[in-house]
Structure 1
Amino acid sequence: MTDAAFDLGSDDIPALSTGEQAYERIRHDIVFGVLQPGQRLPLDRLKSVYGVGISTLREILNRLAPQGLVVAEGQRGFQVSPCSVTDLKELADLRLLIESNALAQSFQAGDVEWEGRIVAAHHKLARMEQRLLAGDESGTQAWKRYDFEFHQALVSACGSKALLDLHAGIYDRYLRYQMVFFVFWGPTSTEDHKALLDCALRRDAAEAQRLLHGHIHGCIDMALERGLVD
Protein backbone atom coordinates (compact mmCIF):
# COMPACT_ATOMS: atom_id res chain seq x y z
CA MET A 1 0.00 0.00 0.00
CA THR A 2 1.63 3.20 -1.08
CA ASP A 3 1.40 6.32 1.03
CA ALA A 4 0.13 8.12 -2.04
CA ALA A 5 -2.90 5.86 -2.09
CA PHE A 6 -3.87 7.23 1.30
CA ASP A 7 -2.73 10.85 1.08
CA LEU A 8 -2.19 12.42 -2.31
CA GLY A 9 -1.48 15.79 -0.74
CA SER A 10 1.34 14.76 1.56
CA ASP A 11 4.37 17.05 1.61
CA ASP A 12 6.54 13.95 2.11
CA ILE A 13 5.99 12.58 -1.41
CA PRO A 14 6.85 14.11 -4.77
CA ALA A 15 4.11 15.96 -6.67
CA LEU A 16 2.29 13.52 -8.94
CA SER A 17 1.24 14.11 -12.52
CA THR A 18 -2.48 14.30 -13.28
CA GLY A 19 -2.37 10.77 -14.67
CA GLU A 20 -0.56 9.39 -11.62
CA GLN A 21 -3.01 11.13 -9.28
CA ALA A 22 -5.89 9.57 -11.18
CA TYR A 23 -4.17 6.17 -10.97
CA GLU A 24 -3.76 6.49 -7.19
CA ARG A 25 -7.35 7.69 -6.74
CA ILE A 26 -8.84 4.85 -8.78
CA ARG A 27 -6.64 2.29 -7.03
CA HIS A 28 -7.63 3.72 -3.65
CA ASP A 29 -11.33 3.70 -4.58
CA ILE A 30 -11.16 0.04 -5.63
CA VAL A 31 -9.22 -1.07 -2.54
CA PHE A 32 -11.50 0.84 -0.17
CA GLY A 33 -14.74 -0.27 -1.80
CA VAL A 34 -15.84 3.05 -3.30
CA LEU A 35 -15.84 1.20 -6.62
CA GLN A 36 -17.62 -2.02 -5.77
CA PRO A 37 -16.64 -5.59 -6.79
CA GLY A 38 -18.03 -6.41 -10.21
CA GLN A 39 -18.89 -2.77 -10.98
CA ARG A 40 -18.46 -1.83 -14.62
CA LEU A 41 -16.07 1.02 -15.33
CA PRO A 42 -17.37 3.00 -18.33
CA LEU A 43 -14.58 5.28 -19.51
CA ASP A 44 -16.85 8.14 -20.56
CA ARG A 45 -18.24 8.33 -17.02
CA LEU A 46 -14.92 7.89 -15.26
CA LYS A 47 -13.24 10.71 -17.16
CA SER A 48 -15.49 13.31 -15.51
CA VAL A 49 -14.97 11.78 -12.07
CA TYR A 50 -11.18 11.50 -12.23
CA GLY A 51 -10.38 14.39 -14.55
CA VAL A 52 -8.37 12.56 -17.20
CA GLY A 53 -8.99 11.48 -20.77
CA ILE A 54 -10.16 8.12 -22.05
CA SER A 55 -6.71 7.05 -23.28
CA THR A 56 -5.20 7.78 -19.85
CA LEU A 57 -8.03 5.91 -18.14
CA ARG A 58 -7.50 2.90 -20.40
CA GLU A 59 -3.80 2.91 -19.54
CA ILE A 60 -4.59 3.15 -15.80
CA LEU A 61 -7.07 0.28 -15.88
CA ASN A 62 -4.66 -1.87 -17.88
CA ARG A 63 -2.05 -1.20 -15.18
CA LEU A 64 -4.49 -2.31 -12.47
CA ALA A 65 -5.53 -5.52 -14.24
CA PRO A 66 -2.30 -7.48 -13.52
CA GLN A 67 -2.63 -6.44 -9.88
CA GLY A 68 -5.91 -8.35 -9.63
CA LEU A 69 -7.98 -5.20 -9.03
CA VAL A 70 -9.54 -4.78 -12.49
CA VAL A 71 -10.75 -7.23 -15.15
CA ALA A 72 -10.29 -6.27 -18.80
CA GLU A 73 -13.20 -7.57 -20.87
CA GLY A 74 -11.86 -6.96 -24.37
CA GLN A 75 -14.29 -4.91 -26.42
CA ARG A 76 -16.71 -4.79 -23.48
CA GLY A 77 -14.39 -2.58 -21.42
CA PHE A 78 -13.40 -2.98 -17.79
CA GLN A 79 -14.93 -3.91 -14.46
CA VAL A 80 -13.75 -4.02 -10.87
CA SER A 81 -12.57 -7.54 -10.09
CA PRO A 82 -15.37 -9.52 -8.44
CA CYS A 83 -14.93 -11.05 -5.00
CA SER A 84 -15.31 -14.70 -4.09
CA VAL A 85 -14.59 -17.06 -1.23
CA THR A 86 -12.05 -18.89 -3.38
CA ASP A 87 -10.16 -15.71 -4.20
CA LEU A 88 -10.25 -14.56 -0.58
CA LYS A 89 -8.83 -17.86 0.68
CA GLU A 90 -6.11 -17.82 -1.98
CA LEU A 91 -5.14 -14.26 -1.06
CA ALA A 92 -5.08 -15.16 2.63
CA ASP A 93 -2.81 -18.14 1.96
CA LEU A 94 -0.52 -16.01 -0.21
CA ARG A 95 -0.35 -13.27 2.39
CA LEU A 96 0.40 -15.80 5.11
CA LEU A 97 3.14 -17.45 3.05
CA ILE A 98 4.84 -14.15 2.15
CA GLU A 99 4.41 -12.43 5.50
CA SER A 100 5.50 -15.46 7.53
CA ASN A 101 8.68 -15.75 5.50
CA ALA A 102 9.39 -12.03 5.79
CA LEU A 103 8.66 -12.10 9.54
CA ALA A 104 11.30 -14.74 10.17
CA GLN A 105 13.93 -12.81 8.21
CA SER A 106 12.97 -9.50 9.78
CA PHE A 107 13.02 -10.82 13.35
CA GLN A 108 16.51 -12.18 12.79
CA ALA A 109 17.94 -9.03 11.18
CA GLY A 110 16.02 -6.27 12.97
CA ASP A 111 17.93 -3.70 15.02
CA VAL A 112 16.90 -1.06 17.55
CA GLU A 113 15.67 1.24 14.75
CA TRP A 114 13.39 -1.56 13.59
CA GLU A 115 12.09 -2.04 17.12
CA GLY A 116 11.33 1.68 17.28
CA ARG A 117 9.33 1.53 14.05
CA ILE A 118 7.28 -1.37 15.36
CA VAL A 119 6.53 0.29 18.69
CA ALA A 120 5.54 3.55 16.98
CA ALA A 121 3.33 1.78 14.43
CA HIS A 122 1.64 -0.28 17.13
CA HIS A 123 0.97 2.82 19.24
CA LYS A 124 -1.00 4.46 16.41
CA LEU A 125 -2.87 1.25 15.63
CA ALA A 126 -3.77 0.59 19.27
CA ARG A 127 -5.08 4.13 19.74
CA MET A 128 -7.30 3.79 16.67
CA GLU A 129 -8.56 0.39 17.78
CA GLN A 130 -9.53 1.85 21.14
CA ARG A 131 -11.67 4.39 19.29
CA LEU A 132 -13.33 1.59 17.33
CA LEU A 133 -13.95 -0.40 20.51
CA ALA A 134 -15.64 2.70 21.93
CA GLY A 135 -18.02 2.74 18.95
CA ASP A 136 -16.37 5.49 16.88
CA GLU A 137 -16.25 4.15 13.31
CA SER A 138 -15.28 7.45 11.67
CA GLY A 139 -11.65 6.39 11.39
CA THR A 140 -12.08 3.06 9.60
CA GLN A 141 -9.78 3.96 6.71
CA ALA A 142 -7.14 5.31 9.11
CA TRP A 143 -7.44 2.08 11.13
CA LYS A 144 -6.66 -0.02 8.06
CA ARG A 145 -3.79 2.29 7.16
CA TYR A 146 -2.30 1.86 10.64
CA ASP A 147 -2.94 -1.89 10.44
CA PHE A 148 -0.92 -2.06 7.22
CA GLU A 149 1.83 0.15 8.66
CA PHE A 150 2.14 -2.13 11.69
CA HIS A 151 2.37 -5.32 9.64
CA GLN A 152 4.73 -3.57 7.24
CA ALA A 153 6.94 -2.51 10.16
CA LEU A 154 7.10 -6.09 11.41
CA VAL A 155 8.57 -7.30 8.11
CA SER A 156 10.51 -4.14 7.22
CA ALA A 157 13.91 -5.53 8.26
CA CYS A 158 13.67 -8.63 6.04
CA GLY A 159 16.28 -7.18 3.69
CA SER A 160 14.40 -7.81 0.43
CA LYS A 161 12.69 -4.99 -1.45
CA ALA A 162 11.14 -7.53 -3.82
CA LEU A 163 9.60 -9.39 -0.88
CA LEU A 164 8.28 -6.15 0.64
CA ASP A 165 6.79 -5.06 -2.69
CA LEU A 166 5.13 -8.45 -3.10
CA HIS A 167 3.77 -8.25 0.43
CA ALA A 168 2.34 -4.76 -0.17
CA GLY A 169 0.64 -5.87 -3.39
CA ILE A 170 -0.99 -8.92 -1.82
CA TYR A 171 -1.98 -6.85 1.22
CA ASP A 172 -3.82 -4.36 -1.01
CA ARG A 173 -5.90 -7.11 -2.59
CA TYR A 174 -6.60 -8.65 0.82
CA LEU A 175 -7.43 -5.19 2.21
CA ARG A 176 -10.12 -4.77 -0.44
CA TYR A 177 -12.00 -7.70 1.07
CA GLN A 178 -11.61 -6.25 4.54
CA MET A 179 -12.97 -2.87 3.51
CA VAL A 180 -15.86 -4.26 1.45
CA PHE A 181 -16.94 -7.17 3.66
CA PHE A 182 -15.19 -7.22 7.01
CA VAL A 183 -16.00 -5.26 10.10
CA PHE A 184 -13.70 -4.58 13.01
CA TRP A 185 -13.67 -7.79 15.02
CA GLY A 186 -13.13 -6.23 18.39
CA PRO A 187 -10.79 -7.13 21.25
CA THR A 188 -9.44 -10.22 19.47
CA SER A 189 -7.79 -8.06 16.80
CA THR A 190 -6.35 -5.72 19.43
CA GLU A 191 -4.99 -8.63 21.46
CA ASP A 192 -3.43 -10.23 18.37
CA HIS A 193 -1.59 -7.02 17.50
CA LYS A 194 -0.27 -6.60 21.04
CA ALA A 195 0.90 -10.23 21.04
CA LEU A 196 2.66 -9.74 17.70
CA LEU A 197 4.42 -6.68 19.11
CA ASP A 198 5.61 -8.68 22.12
CA CYS A 199 6.86 -11.48 19.84
CA ALA A 200 8.82 -8.99 17.76
CA LEU A 201 10.51 -7.42 20.77
CA ARG A 202 11.63 -10.82 22.07
CA ARG A 203 12.38 -12.10 18.54
CA ASP A 204 10.02 -15.08 18.76
CA ALA A 205 9.35 -15.67 15.06
CA ALA A 206 7.72 -19.08 15.50
CA GLU A 207 5.08 -17.74 17.89
CA ALA A 208 4.53 -14.68 15.68
CA GLN A 209 3.90 -16.95 12.68
CA ARG A 210 1.39 -18.98 14.70
CA LEU A 211 -0.39 -15.80 15.78
CA LEU A 212 -0.41 -14.45 12.24
CA HIS A 213 -2.06 -17.63 10.95
CA GLY A 214 -4.87 -17.29 13.49
CA HIS A 215 -5.13 -13.55 12.91
CA ILE A 216 -5.63 -13.86 9.15
CA HIS A 217 -7.84 -16.93 9.13
CA GLY A 218 -9.89 -15.60 12.03
CA CYS A 219 -10.96 -12.71 9.80
CA ILE A 220 -12.00 -15.10 7.05
CA ASP A 221 -13.91 -17.36 9.42
CA MET A 222 -15.80 -14.37 10.81
CA ALA A 223 -16.72 -13.15 7.31
CA LEU A 224 -17.99 -16.58 6.29
CA GLU A 225 -19.95 -17.10 9.52
CA ARG A 226 -21.69 -13.76 9.05
CA GLY A 227 -22.38 -14.40 5.38
CA LEU A 228 -20.43 -11.33 4.34
CA VAL A 229 -18.92 -12.99 1.27
CA ASP A 230 -20.42 -15.67 -0.97
Structure 2
Amino acid sequence: MSEAELLPPGRDPTLATAVHRRLREDILSGRLPPGLKLKLRDLAESYGAGASPMREALSKLAAEGLAERLEHRGFRVAAAAPGQLAGLIRARVLAECAALSEAIRRGDAAWEDALVLAEHRLNRVARSLDPGRFTANPEWEAAHRQFHRALLAACGAPPLVAFCERLREEAGRYRALANTVAYPDRDVAAEHAAIARATLARDAPAASALLAQHYERTGAFVGADLGRHTA
Protein backbone atom coordinates (compact mmCIF):
# COMPACT_ATOMS: atom_id res chain seq x y z
CA MET A 1 0.00 0.00 0.00
CA SER A 2 1.39 3.43 -0.94
CA GLU A 3 1.82 6.37 1.40
CA ALA A 4 -0.97 8.23 -0.40
CA GLU A 5 -3.39 5.34 0.27
CA LEU A 6 -2.63 5.53 4.00
CA LEU A 7 -3.50 9.22 4.23
CA PRO A 8 -6.80 10.49 5.66
CA PRO A 9 -9.56 11.35 3.15
CA GLY A 10 -9.08 14.76 1.59
CA ARG A 11 -5.41 14.97 2.55
CA ASP A 12 -3.27 16.21 -0.34
CA PRO A 13 0.44 15.55 0.41
CA THR A 14 1.59 17.60 -2.57
CA LEU A 15 -0.40 20.66 -1.50
CA ALA A 16 0.68 20.36 2.14
CA THR A 17 4.33 20.19 1.08
CA ALA A 18 3.98 23.17 -1.26
CA VAL A 19 2.25 25.28 1.40
CA HIS A 20 4.89 24.38 3.97
CA ARG A 21 7.66 25.38 1.54
CA ARG A 22 6.04 28.73 0.73
CA LEU A 23 5.34 29.58 4.37
CA ARG A 24 8.86 28.59 5.33
CA GLU A 25 10.38 30.81 2.63
CA ASP A 26 8.21 33.73 3.71
CA ILE A 27 9.28 33.37 7.35
CA LEU A 28 12.97 32.98 6.51
CA SER A 29 12.88 35.99 4.18
CA GLY A 30 11.17 38.16 6.80
CA ARG A 31 8.01 38.64 4.74
CA LEU A 32 6.16 37.09 7.68
CA PRO A 33 7.72 38.95 10.64
CA PRO A 34 8.43 37.52 14.10
CA GLY A 35 5.42 37.39 16.40
CA LEU A 36 2.86 37.60 13.60
CA LYS A 37 -0.29 35.64 14.44
CA LEU A 38 -0.79 32.98 11.77
CA LYS A 39 -4.55 32.97 11.34
CA LEU A 40 -5.75 29.85 9.60
CA ARG A 41 -8.53 31.50 7.61
CA ASP A 42 -6.32 34.32 6.33
CA LEU A 43 -3.50 31.95 5.45
CA ALA A 44 -5.81 29.56 3.64
CA GLU A 45 -7.02 32.42 1.47
CA SER A 46 -3.53 33.85 0.84
CA TYR A 47 -1.86 30.52 0.05
CA GLY A 48 -4.77 28.84 -1.70
CA ALA A 49 -5.02 25.83 0.58
CA GLY A 50 -7.62 24.28 2.82
CA ALA A 51 -7.53 23.98 6.60
CA SER A 52 -6.04 20.46 6.69
CA PRO A 53 -2.85 21.08 4.62
CA MET A 54 -2.44 24.48 6.28
CA ARG A 55 -2.53 22.95 9.78
CA GLU A 56 -0.02 20.33 8.73
CA ALA A 57 2.32 22.98 7.30
CA LEU A 58 2.09 25.03 10.50
CA SER A 59 2.77 21.95 12.64
CA LYS A 60 5.90 21.24 10.59
CA LEU A 61 7.06 24.83 10.99
CA ALA A 62 6.54 24.58 14.76
CA ALA A 63 8.61 21.38 14.84
CA GLU A 64 11.37 23.25 12.95
CA GLY A 65 11.29 26.15 15.40
CA LEU A 66 10.07 28.68 12.84
CA ALA A 67 6.56 28.91 14.30
CA GLU A 68 5.23 28.75 17.85
CA ARG A 69 2.12 26.86 18.85
CA LEU A 70 -0.18 28.92 21.07
CA GLU A 71 -2.24 26.90 23.52
CA HIS A 72 -5.81 26.83 22.17
CA ARG A 73 -4.99 29.88 20.02
CA GLY A 74 -3.30 28.58 16.88
CA PHE A 75 0.20 29.59 15.78
CA ARG A 76 2.46 32.61 15.42
CA VAL A 77 5.80 33.24 13.70
CA ALA A 78 8.68 32.41 16.05
CA ALA A 79 10.48 35.24 17.78
CA ALA A 80 13.86 36.46 16.50
CA ALA A 81 15.21 38.49 19.40
CA PRO A 82 18.64 40.11 18.89
CA GLY A 83 19.83 38.40 22.07
CA GLN A 84 19.25 34.98 20.50
CA LEU A 85 21.55 35.68 17.56
CA ALA A 86 24.79 35.21 19.52
CA GLY A 87 23.75 31.70 20.55
CA LEU A 88 22.77 30.87 16.99
CA ILE A 89 26.14 32.06 15.66
CA ARG A 90 27.93 30.04 18.35
CA ALA A 91 25.98 26.91 17.42
CA ARG A 92 26.78 27.47 13.77
CA VAL A 93 30.50 27.87 14.50
CA LEU A 94 30.61 24.68 16.59
CA ALA A 95 28.67 22.60 14.07
CA GLU A 96 30.33 23.85 10.88
CA CYS A 97 33.86 23.79 12.25
CA ALA A 98 33.34 20.14 13.24
CA ALA A 99 31.95 19.36 9.78
CA LEU A 100 34.76 21.27 8.06
CA SER A 101 37.44 19.40 10.03
CA GLU A 102 35.92 16.09 8.96
CA ALA A 103 35.63 17.26 5.35
CA ILE A 104 39.33 18.18 5.36
CA ARG A 105 40.22 14.78 6.78
CA ARG A 106 38.03 12.81 4.37
CA GLY A 107 37.88 14.95 1.24
CA ASP A 108 39.30 13.68 -2.05
CA ALA A 109 40.48 15.42 -5.22
CA ALA A 110 36.93 15.73 -6.54
CA TRP A 111 35.92 17.59 -3.39
CA GLU A 112 38.89 19.93 -3.76
CA ASP A 113 37.96 20.61 -7.40
CA ALA A 114 34.35 21.35 -6.42
CA LEU A 115 35.49 23.81 -3.74
CA VAL A 116 37.85 25.60 -6.13
CA LEU A 117 35.04 25.87 -8.69
CA ALA A 118 32.57 27.15 -6.08
CA GLU A 119 34.95 29.89 -4.99
CA HIS A 120 35.72 30.81 -8.60
CA ARG A 121 32.02 31.16 -9.42
CA LEU A 122 31.44 33.23 -6.29
CA ASN A 123 34.24 35.62 -7.23
CA ARG A 124 32.82 36.10 -10.74
CA VAL A 125 29.47 37.42 -9.47
CA ALA A 126 28.95 40.96 -8.19
CA ARG A 127 27.56 41.24 -4.68
CA SER A 128 25.43 44.24 -5.63
CA LEU A 129 23.02 44.79 -8.50
CA ASP A 130 23.54 48.55 -8.35
CA PRO A 131 27.06 50.07 -8.31
CA GLY A 132 25.73 53.31 -6.80
CA ARG A 133 24.02 51.73 -3.80
CA PHE A 134 24.28 48.28 -2.29
CA THR A 135 21.42 46.13 -3.61
CA ALA A 136 21.72 42.42 -2.81
CA ASN A 137 22.30 40.23 -5.86
CA PRO A 138 20.34 36.93 -5.70
CA GLU A 139 22.92 35.28 -7.98
CA TRP A 140 25.69 36.15 -5.52
CA GLU A 141 23.60 34.87 -2.61
CA ALA A 142 23.13 31.54 -4.41
CA ALA A 143 26.85 31.26 -5.20
CA HIS A 144 27.66 32.16 -1.61
CA ARG A 145 25.45 29.36 -0.29
CA GLN A 146 27.08 26.92 -2.69
CA PHE A 147 30.57 27.90 -1.56
CA HIS A 148 29.76 27.22 2.08
CA ARG A 149 28.04 23.95 1.16
CA ALA A 150 31.09 22.90 -0.85
CA LEU A 151 33.32 23.40 2.18
CA LEU A 152 31.40 20.77 4.17
CA ALA A 153 30.40 18.42 1.37
CA ALA A 154 32.99 15.72 2.13
CA CYS A 155 32.39 15.44 5.88
CA GLY A 156 30.51 12.14 5.45
CA ALA A 157 27.78 12.95 7.99
CA PRO A 158 24.56 13.94 6.21
CA PRO A 159 22.62 14.63 9.45
CA LEU A 160 25.33 17.07 10.57
CA VAL A 161 25.30 18.78 7.17
CA ALA A 162 21.49 19.05 7.36
CA PHE A 163 21.79 20.61 10.83
CA CYS A 164 24.35 23.10 9.52
CA GLU A 165 21.99 23.99 6.67
CA ARG A 166 19.16 24.62 9.11
CA LEU A 167 21.37 26.90 11.20
CA ARG A 168 22.42 28.73 8.02
CA GLU A 169 18.78 29.36 7.13
CA GLU A 170 17.99 30.63 10.61
CA ALA A 171 20.98 32.98 10.50
CA GLY A 172 19.80 34.17 7.09
CA ARG A 173 16.45 35.06 8.63
CA TYR A 174 18.13 37.41 11.09
CA ARG A 175 20.08 38.98 8.25
CA ALA A 176 16.88 39.50 6.26
CA LEU A 177 15.13 41.07 9.26
CA ALA A 178 18.08 43.38 9.90
CA ASN A 179 18.28 44.20 6.17
CA THR A 180 22.07 43.95 6.42
CA VAL A 181 23.59 43.58 2.97
CA ALA A 182 26.81 45.58 3.20
CA TYR A 183 29.68 45.36 5.68
CA PRO A 184 31.80 48.55 5.88
CA ASP A 185 35.58 48.11 6.12
CA ARG A 186 35.31 44.39 5.44
CA ASP A 187 36.61 42.36 2.49
CA VAL A 188 34.28 39.36 2.39
CA ALA A 189 35.91 37.96 -0.78
CA ALA A 190 39.30 37.93 0.97
CA GLU A 191 37.74 36.08 3.91
CA HIS A 192 36.35 33.41 1.56
CA ALA A 193 39.71 33.10 -0.20
CA ALA A 194 41.55 32.63 3.09
CA ILE A 195 39.10 29.94 4.24
CA ALA A 196 39.44 28.12 0.91
CA ARG A 197 43.25 28.29 0.98
CA ALA A 198 43.50 26.86 4.48
CA THR A 199 40.97 24.17 3.63
CA LEU A 200 42.77 23.09 0.47
CA ALA A 201 46.05 23.10 2.42
CA ARG A 202 44.37 20.59 4.77
CA ASP A 203 45.02 22.88 7.74
CA ALA A 204 41.91 22.12 9.79
CA PRO A 205 42.74 24.36 12.81
CA ALA A 206 43.44 27.39 10.59
CA ALA A 207 40.42 26.79 8.34
CA SER A 208 38.12 26.35 11.34
CA ALA A 209 39.44 29.51 13.00
CA LEU A 210 38.92 31.52 9.80
CA LEU A 211 35.41 30.15 9.33
CA ALA A 212 34.53 31.01 12.94
CA GLN A 213 35.84 34.57 12.49
CA HIS A 214 33.86 34.89 9.26
CA TYR A 215 30.57 34.03 10.97
CA GLU A 216 31.32 36.03 14.10
CA ARG A 217 32.03 39.16 12.03
CA THR A 218 28.76 38.75 10.15
CA GLY A 219 26.92 38.14 13.42
CA ALA A 220 28.34 41.35 14.90
CA PHE A 221 27.17 43.45 11.93
CA VAL A 222 23.74 41.80 11.79
CA GLY A 223 23.24 42.00 15.55
CA ALA A 224 24.09 45.70 15.64
CA ASP A 225 21.79 46.45 12.70
CA LEU A 226 18.97 44.34 14.13
CA GLY A 227 19.30 46.16 17.43
CA ARG A 228 18.87 49.50 15.65
CA HIS A 229 15.77 48.21 13.82
CA THR A 230 14.15 46.90 17.01
CA ALA A 231 15.18 49.75 19.33
TM (norm. structure 1) is: 0.84
- Size of the aligned set, in residue pairs, is 214
Distance 2:228 2:201 in 1: 37
Query: Does 1:122 find its partner at 2:119?
Result: yes
Q: Which sections of structure 1, spanning at least 5 residues, go unmatched? A: 1-15
Matches within 5 A, 1:95-134: 95-131=92-128, 134=131
**Which amino acid letter does the alignment assign opposite residue 21 of structure 1?**
A
Which residue matches 2:135? Answer: 137
Secondary structure in 2 aligned to 1:71? Answer: strand
What does the per-residue CA deviation read over 1:77-115, in whole Å, with 9 as the maximum and x for residues that have no partner? Answer: 111111112321111111111000000000111112111
Contact 1:129/1:190 (<8 A) preserved: no
One-letter code of the match for 1:98?
Answer: A
Equivalent in the alignment of 1:83? 80
* Structure 1 range deviating more: 185-194 or 82-91: 185-194
Amino acid at match of 2:216: H
Larger radius of gyration: 2
CA-CA distance at 1:126 after TM superposition = 2.4
User: How far has the Cα of 1:207 moved from its partner?
Assistant: 1.1
SS of structure 1 residue aligned to 2:68:
strand
How many percent of aligned residue pairs carry the same amino acid? 31
Query: Structure 1 residues 193 and 203, CA, compared in 2 at 3 Å: closer, same or farther?
Result: same
1:223/1:229 contact within 8 Å kept: no
Distance change (3 Å), C-alpha of 1:174 and 1:224 = closer
Specify the SS of the correspondent of 2:125: helix
Q: Which residue of 1 aligns with 2:214?
A: 215
Q: For 1:113 and 1:228, how far apart are their aligned partners in 2?
A: 44
Aligned counterpart, 2:10: none
The normalised TM-score by structure 2 is 0.84
Aligned Cα root-mean-square deviation (Å): 2.1
Deviation at 1:132, TM superposition (A): 5.6
2:9 maps to what in 1?
Answer: none
Change (3 A) 1:136 1:87: closer
Matched, 1:42 2:42: no
Which of 180, 183, 187 aligns to 2:181? It is 183
The structure 1 residue matched to 2:16, chosen from 11, 15, 19, is 19
